[in-house]
A and B are shown apart, each in its own frame.
Chain A
Amino acid sequence: MSRNFIRPVSLRDVATHYCSGCGHGILHRLVAEVIDELNLREKTIGVAPVGCAVVAYDYWDFDVCEAAHGRALAVATGIKRCKPEQFVFTYQGDGDLVSIGMAETFHTANRGENLSCIFINNACYGMTGGQMAPTTLTGQATTTTPWGRDPKSGEGWPIKFSEILAGLEGVNFSVRCSVSSPKEIIKTRAYIKKAFTNQLENKGFSIVEVLSPCPTGWQKKPIDAVKWIDEEMVKTFPLGIIKDRCI
């Protein structure tokens, strides 16, 4: 019998530090699978964020650059402009990409940098213990919104950043997907491949927003966390292609 499920070459054979039910493990694997499939490993330079995935370079087996919190796309811009033939992507969370790094994200997208951005939206700051993120849902309790996020008391509304970015000329592809079920994971893999292929075809900026479970930050069992994505999170963050210039 042939073995169909094997470890991607771009993913190291090590245990990760992620919590049970976390989406990062799946997403690291999807990124590694697509890099292998497109035969990109030897020309890849990844940019790791600050957040739970800060040591992604311990798990991926290709060149990786660290970036300060929020600055991944500025760092990636510097890399890609100097190495236009290499494949450069960032892997960032919601706090990194939408809060502290909003300016860098917005302007990188607006310049139409030929980059691929994987945006993990888990509606909280996972690494620091589950504080309110710009993507935290209205009413969602976090350590800094103990009574639930209340826009009327000055805590703001969840930001739909992929929709905002889609309005920029420089953005080629913007999509929201999820890793809440095998079906959605398969779609997410296809979108990541599309974002990576876009860069190889010099199409400019592509962003893949992935709704990803954070059972620890949400104080839910892993099974309840994925259910919460499907039942609650998608109401604020609807899944699907937001912009695809190639259609």
Chain B
Amino acid sequence: MSGNEAMAEAAIKAGCNFYAGYPITPQNEIPAYMARRMKEEKRVFIQAESELAAINMVFGASSTGARALTSSSSPGISLKQEGISYIAGAELPAVIINVMRGGPGLGNISSSQSDYYQATRGGGHGDYFTPVLAPFSAEEAAELVMLSFDLADYYRTPVLVLADAIIGQMMEPVKLPFKSSFKKKLPQKPWALSGASKRRPNIVKSFFLREGGLEMHNQKLKDKWEEIKNNEQRFSSYKADDAKYLIVAYGSEARIAWEAVDALRGENLKAGLFRPISLWPYPDAGLQKCARNVKKIFVIEQSLGQMVDDVKLALSGKDIKFLGKTGGGIPSASEIIKFVKKAP
């Protein structure tokens, strides 16, 4: 199945009971799949009139305690940023899938990783972050969607699954059924709106007008972001233990870099791959450990260079080279190999 379908089925398996979305390429398989499966499961599917409406429907659904999902691609995710900011402010759980395409503007529909800054720096207005998970296969995309629902409920936060067009469109075998890798016990939702029966009214809001109120609220959010930073860093590595040349890439580009690592090893060059899975929080500690005995770091992205900033923050002082292509350009394995070998 395609990565898009795998993510949609994973949402079904995760008990997602509400989906709202708006058509945009390259993620149209998700709403199409959900339209059919949600009905079969007697859950809610809505084709919204816009991305704005879809994310705000998710806000409403989540406020009742439902497991709510929306999906889109880059320009549509820009429109959803209003709602994502409100969801973060109101501390509601929600899962948002971004199957990235080229930008800025309408860009194109080719694979791209140029929404990294938007995804990992909050994205909308205000002081907030959202956990961001980047899959590198259809099966991992499904696993990360399942995990996202648990992370969202556990921390009461929107969680972004940052896939790219290649991951969304690529067809490959996927093992079903999935099980979430999240091990902590999920909390009840006493804050959810259900009618104030035998309890005081619940209010879901992100508005704190009284002096000091928002400052206190945002400090509370900061504690949550810190907890997530401490507990939810995820990464994977490949032949990194003895590597002298460490490639850092995520999503479909990590898949390509994997091939490059094998080819370089075949030429007796000690190459390895570090693949962040959580882009926020960025797996700093894991990267530092993998890079301890490395001579050179090569950051490869389908962008003009966004994640490379986080690598520089994690590894200040290290020799870091960047190779990126933009607007639908995809650094190929042979280009990566050439780039690594050429490096002085």
Contact = CB atoms under 8 A, between A and B. Distances in A.
A201 B319 CA distance: 69
B49 to A, nearest CB: 4
A41 B56 contact: no
Nearest to B205: A66
Interface residues of A, number: 36
B83 A71 contact: yes
A45 B204 CA distance: 10
Contacts of A78: 18, 20, 56-64, 66, 68
A54 B207 CA distance: 9
Contacts, number: 135
Contact of A63 (B20, B90, B196): B196
Contact of A71 (B53, B193, B206): B53
Interface string B78-116: 000011001000100000000000000000000000000
User: A44, A45, A82: which has the most chain B beta carbons within 10 Å?
Assistant: A82
B280 to A, nearest CB: 23
A45 B63 CA distance: 10
Contacts of B204: 64-66
Interface in B197-226: 197-198, 201-207, 209
Q: Indicate the size class of the contact surface on chain B.
A: 35 or more
A107 interface: yes
Contacts of B44: 81-82
Interface of A: 41-45, 47-48, 54-55, 57, 60-68, 71, 74-83, 86-87, 103-104, 106-107
Top 8 A-B pairs ranked by shortest CB distance?
A78-B60, A74-B56, A75-B60, A78-B61, A42-B197, A71-B56, A78-B57, A66-B205
27 contacts: A54-B207, A55-B207, A60-B201, A62-B195, A62-B201, A63-B194, A63-B195, A63-B196, A63-B202, A66-B86, A67-B60, A71-B52, A74-B53, A75-B56, A75-B57, A75-B59, A77-B46, A78-B58, A78-B59, A78-B60, A78-B66, A81-B46, A82-B60, A83-B64, A83-B194, A104-B52, A104-B53
Interface of B: 17-18, 20, 44, 46, 48-50, 52-54, 56-66, 68, 82-83, 86, 90, 193-198, 201-207, 209
